Amino acid sequence: LRAAPPDAGLPAAPVTALAVDGGGRLLVGTERGAFRARADAGFEPLAAELADDAVSQLLVDADGSIWVGTVYA
């Protein structure tokens, strides 16, 4: 387990969910969106639509689809 450096692409927000996709890449849910690990050790947004959402759950189903649960206030 390693800490992601500040320039890795994750927002400065608490991590709220973790999962691994079918390709073995780490998925990270935060209070400011969901992100997927890149091969260069950085992160990219999983979906632009989630940028302002607090992610509570990440699930990868049997066919590889990624399901994201969010918190609504």
Interval 12-61: pLDDT, tens: 778 999 999 999 999 999 999 999 998 887 899 999 898 889 999 999 99
Predicted pLDDT at 68: 96
pLDDT at 6 exceeding the cut of 90: no
| Residue 31, amino acid | E
| Residue 30, amino acid | T
pLDDT at 63 exceeding the cut of 60: yes
3 vs 59, residue with greater confidence: 59
What distance in Å separates the CA atoms of residue 71 and residue 62, rounded to the nearest whole number? Answer: 24
> DSSP letters along 6-71, please?
GGGS--SS-EEEEEE-TTS-EEEEETTEEEEE-TTS-EEES-GGGTT-EEEEEEE-TTS-EEEEEE
